[in-house]
Amino acid sequence: MGDFTLLSKGRPKREQVEGKVVWITGASRGIGETLAEQFASLGAKLILSARNVIELERVKSKIIVKYPGSNIEILPLDLASGEEDLKGAVNQAESLFAGCGVDYMVHNAAFERPKRKAVEETVEGLQATLKVNVLGPIILTKLLAPFMIKRGGGNFVVMSSAAGKCPAPGQAIYSASKHALHGYFHTLRSELNPKGIKVTVVCPGPIETSKASEAGSSEKRHEKRVTAERCAELTTVAATHGLKEAWISYQPVLLVMYLLQYMPTVGFWLMDKVGGNRLKAAKRKGNTYSWNLLFGEKKRA
């Protein structure tokens, strides 16, 4: 359920993160909530961000019950709020734990709209997605990186997606937003590597979260999804081993990622076969990750 390099690394390196400050956006639910738990289990100090403070308090209480003595601060944040607010958030994050700034910035929050054709996307949807998924994380990074450079090190962990590596029929804007993160963060690493800044871009395929299992939706669609726990665990492995990129998915998504990376002509040919069928599957709320998309999925009862 992961690329070969990632799976070869084994367990997370606790010593890389124990006592370090890890700031996670989108920590109020889903993968971000699970990531917070896993970083707490490794002894990290946490800053939890999202818009919903009540949910952040719930996540904090849950972690403290599970890992008593955890150091957790809540920092409410709207990634779409613009530079001034984000500057305030960065200054606060840098001062929440006396004597330590942010060691790991985990850009996990994102906005994903229901699947629809690229040409049916609205300009409002485009702007909302790019603000939260791209502009917010980039502005935060630009504001936080100088603090890390001054300290001589820091880590950015970027939750992208398989849709950041491959065409994702029905998710053109989401896919565009994740591709943009790859361009920015791989470039940032190439510029800041000599200053001790590391960047890990994580690309999960379908993941089982409370959102995915709403009304048993993914089960009903017969979609095979990696659990949020395993996704979060592999993310901590990738981050603490300093991997530049990591892929987390079951088949067929992982195979498509390998094809597009190493045999793009075949990969793009395949995606052209899949595109229309995936749009149809999404419309009837069927399995959008099935091998059958290559041939046209049969209707399920």
Kindly list the catalytic residues. 174
Q: Which tokens go with 100?
A: 């330590």
Asked whether the CA dihedral 175, 179, 244, 50 is positive or negative, the reply is negative
Kindly tell me which of 195 and 211 has the beta carbon lying closer to ligand NAP. 211
Q: Least separation, in Å, of the C-beta of 150 and ligand NAP?
A: 26
- Shortest separation between residue 66's beta carbon and ligand NAP, angstroms: 19
Q: H-type helices in 152-293, by residue range?
A: 172-192, 217-220, 228-240, 253-262, 264-283
Question: Nearer to ligand NAP by C-beta: 19 or 235?
Answer: 235
Residue closest to 256 by CA, chosen among 205, 202, 295, 182: 205
Taking a C-beta distance cutoff of 8 angstroms, is the pair 28, 52 a contact?
Answer: yes
By beta-carbon proximity to ligand NAP, the closer residue of 70 and 288 is 288
For residue 229, CA distances in Å to 15, 65, 198, 252, 271 come to 21, 18, 24, 20, 29
> Could you tell me whether strands 207-208 and 245-248 are parallel, antiparallel, or unpaired per DSSP bridges?
unpaired
* Contact status, residue 149 vs residue 108, Cβ threshold 8 Å: no
Torsion of CA 252, 257, 261, 262, to 10 degrees: -20
CB of 194 to ligand NAP, least distance (A): 28
Q: Residue 78 or residue 149: which is nearer to ligand NAP going by CB?
A: 78
Q: Which is nearer to ligand NAP, 195 or 244 (CB)?
A: 244
State the minimum distance, in angstroms, from the CB of residue 18 to ligand NAP: 24
Tokens of 136: 């917010």
Measured from the CB atom, the residue of 207 and 259 that comes closer to ligand NAP is 207
Tokens 């590391």 sit on residue = 198
CA atoms within a 13 Å half-sphere pointing along the CA-CB vector of 241: 19
Using CB under 6 A, list all residues that contact ligand NAP.
25-26, 28-32, 50-52, 55, 77-80, 108-112, 132, 159, 161, 204, 206-207, 209, 211-212
Minimum CB–partner distance for residue 162 and ligand NAP (Å): 6
Question: Taking CB positions, which residue lies at the least distance from ligand NAP?
Answer: 30
Rounding to the nearest 10 degrees, give the CA dihedral for residues 79, 83, 85, 87. Answer: 110
* Closest distance to ligand NAP from the beta carbon of 84 (Å): 15
β-sheet bridge partners, residue 1: none
Angle at 91 between CA 89 and CA 95, to 5 degrees: 110
